[in-house]
Amino acid sequence: MKKISLSAVLLASSALAGAAYAETVLTIESWRNDDLALWQEKIIPAFEAQNPDIKIRFTPSAPAEYNAALNAKLDAGSAGDLITCRPFDTSLGLYEAGHLTDLSDLGGMANFSDVAKSAWQTDDGAATFCVPMASVIHGFIYNKDAFNELGIEVPTTEAEFFAALDKIKEDGTYIPMAMGTNDQWEAATMGYNNIGPNYWKGEEGRLALIEGSQKLTDEAWVAPYRQLAKWGEYMGDGFEAQTYPDSQNLFTLGRAAVYPAGSWEISGFNNLADFEMGAFKPPVQNAGDECYISDHTDIAIGLNAASPNAEAARTFLDWVGSEEFATIYANALPGFFSLSSFDVAMEDPLAQEFVSWRGECGSTIRSTYQILSRGTPNLENETWNASAQVIKGEESPEDAGQRLQDGLASWYTPHQ
Amino acid sequence: MGNSRIKWHIVVFLAPAVLVYTAVMILPLFNTLRLALYTEVDQSRVFVGLDNFRTLFGDPLWSDAFWNALGNNFWFFFIHMLVQNPIGIALAAMLSHPRLRFAAFYRSAIFIPTILSFVIVGFAWKLILSPIWGIAPDMLAAVGLKSLYAPWLGKEEYALTTLALVSVWQFVGIPMMLIYAALLSIPEEILEAAEVEGITGMAAFWKIKLPLILPSIGIISILTFVGNFNAFDLIYAAQGALAGPDFSTDILGTFMYRTFFGFQLQLGDPHMGSAIATGMFAIILTGVCVYLFLIQTRIRRYQF
């Protein structure tokens, strides 16, 4: 009896070993649980068709828990082979801790510009440790039917923007703007960093802030808060307790006219909204001013240094840098724009509208992401709080600027 | 002579519990205390003694957040003591009334929320209180009190109290059950004797039953204290790790989580996180000791 079971175990184990020998299974860690279907139906089959001996498993976790969960898994040695990279310091920290491999020599890297790679490089640019996948662009999505019904033109300047909101409010059919402050991050990401680049002149202001030659108390950095302070009255009743999904639903159900957005909303909204949508870029101060948009490097993918399947993983990463991947990704996920230098054709009209701004305006990334959120207090998290407080009218724009500047100066030498 | 022999059966019977408890509770606890004495410099762990605590209590950036969280925690506890336990006792007193019909039904219905997950409770109450889809505004409107409605979870002055009351709703079944059991264990003879002396109804509750259930109330208070100071889940489920609005619902648990695991662009700092966890441990330990040595020893017990 014992002999039989023993040989059965041996047989089973040799069968398993045989299977493992024939194909390598790569596991991907990601926070994009919304993309599960896209990976399973499009990206993975396309890759596996070319590389039959490599199998890919996409295992996402919830966005809010991703960083904490990933760190815990990496420390415990149980993380997947491929790691989806958050931009800047979160990933830089992983690289410095030896969790991510230097990918500078990867063939596919040649297809990305320096700006695209900047979010996943060491400060001196010597090593790149993640293959850039996509960026997201900020702007406003609006309900075209509502605008037509009320006879509102798409606003291009601040004055037109508030005139449009006033008109919607007066009419009363629609909530002028779908946003809440319960989750806080929308106020900063879709509020402050959406409209801000027009005031601090994109990269110019962002780099000056890092350098220390501009301060968060300067007019360029306080002015966006002054705009936000006016937003509160255009939001729905009880916006203080309105969550992010609430805002999405309010807009897609056709109850709100304008949605301060990131382009990542496009695919979700396309599925839900049964009215025609349009997009406009953040309004400039005066007609004819040069415009700036937040074209934020958002997502990349790197190699877990502890992965036993490094060879297969590199094959996959190389493919992520290819034109084929860029085309599949950009079209399957309208709103996530490829960072590669290929000219990727996109079919979605809303996505085309967003990406067309790249040609008209100066691009920048979110002001708080590079270097400035390294210390305590964390500038990004403080900006969430300040933006929400300003919208609710519980803190004045000047006080918010002063508080953030004091916090930054407390640990960041160029500001001391 | 016989006493010096090792009683192996005791060791054997204790071993599983001791081993499991040591592995999953005692070791991690001491490791956390130890971790609080280190910090990370250039990818390596360095011993810094009490520096983390100096930062936590000395640096206004940290100490303000800590005192804010501690204050909120006390308010959270205060609401529980003020609302949950008296209601629990009142419910138990009503349930133990011999002429109450459907007592078993009420008992189960009130106890059921206790077994629900925090995530469900947090999510359900967020929906109920939502200014957009919630039934709270409509229900208030139905009785003509719409003007009383506010987006409670989004207002700094109400959010913490609202969440404390949600937690009370969830856990009121526990004091109710414990007190109910204590009330049932009071012998009939005592109540009958009291009746003969002319003490009935409310007077019987205040003069006979309440003194007899005081030890149970003590136990419930300490359970509430430990539960509240370890609380985290409900706040996290309802308000997220930033415990908005403006940290008004931040309690020690969420503060520790944010620090230990990091949040969004803020990287996790296990060492400062452990320092906060050690602080929580000290507070809870102090509370429990105060109860054990000062209060419990003074509660009079009655033997039946």
Q: Are strands A175-177 and A256-262 parallel, antiparallel or unpaired?
A: parallel
**Which of A5-14, A369-378, B154-163, B264-273 tops mean pLDDT?**
B154-163
Q: How far is B263 from chain A (nearest CA, A)?
A: 7
- pLDDT of the residue at A34: 80
Per-residue pLDDT of chain B (304 residues; tens, 9 = 90+): 455 677 888 999 999 999 999 999 999 999 999 999 999 887 788 899 899 999 999 988 899 999 999 999 999 999 999 999 999 999 999 998 888 889 889 999 999 999 999 999 999 999 999 988 889 988 998 998 888 888 899 899 999 999 999 999 999 999 999 999 999 998 888 888 988 988 888 888 888 888 889 889 999 999 999 999 999 999 999 998 888 888 999 999 999 999 998 887 787 888 999 999 999 999 999 999 999 888 878 776 666 6
Nearest Cα residue to A296 out of A263, A333, A329: A263
Inter-chain residue contact A183 with B240, CB threshold 8 Å: yes
- pLDDT of the residue at A292: 95
- pLDDT of the residue at B4: 63
Q: Of A169-178, A232-241, B29-38, B39-48, which range is least confident? A: B39-48
Least CA distance to B258: which residue of chain A? A68
* CATH 3.40.1350.10 at A22-134+297-345, yes or no: no
Q: What are phi and psi of A278, to 5 degrees?
A: -130, 175
Residue in B62, B154, B268 closest to A241 by CB? B154
Instruction: Check if the interface score ipTM surpasses 0.85.
Output: no
Mutation site for B-interface testing, chosen from A70, A189, A242, A243 by largest number of B Cβ within 10 Å: A243
Burial class (CB in 10 A: 0-12, 13-18, 19+), B159: buried
Percentage of chain A with pLDDT > 90?
Answer: 66
DSSP string, A310-379: HHHHHHHHHHHTSHHHHHHHHHHSTT-EE-BSS------HHHHHHHHHHHHSEEE--TTTSSTTSSSS-H
Inter-chain residue contact B130 with A241, CB threshold 8 Å: yes
Please indicate whether the domains covering A22-134+297-345 and A137-295+363-415 agree at the CATH topology level: yes
Q: Of A267 and B17, which is predicted with more confidence?
A: B17
- Token pair 């039904």 is found at B105
B150 in A contact zone (CB under 8 Å): yes
- pLDDT of the residue at A2: 45
* CATH 1.10.3720.10 at B55-298, yes or no: yes
Domain boundaries, chain A: 22-134+297-345, 137-295+363-415
Cβ-based contacts of B150 with chain A (< 8 Å): 238
Amino acid, single-letter form, for residue B183: L
- Token pair 């106020």 is found at A187
Inter-chain residue contact A239 with B156, CB threshold 8 Å: no
Query: Which class is domain A137-295+363-415?
Result: alpha beta
Q: What is the pLDDT of residues A44-55, one digit of tens each?
A: 999 999 999 999
pTM: 0.83
Q: How far is A348 from chain B (nearest CA, A)?
A: 30
Provide the token pair at A118.
Answer: 């900047």
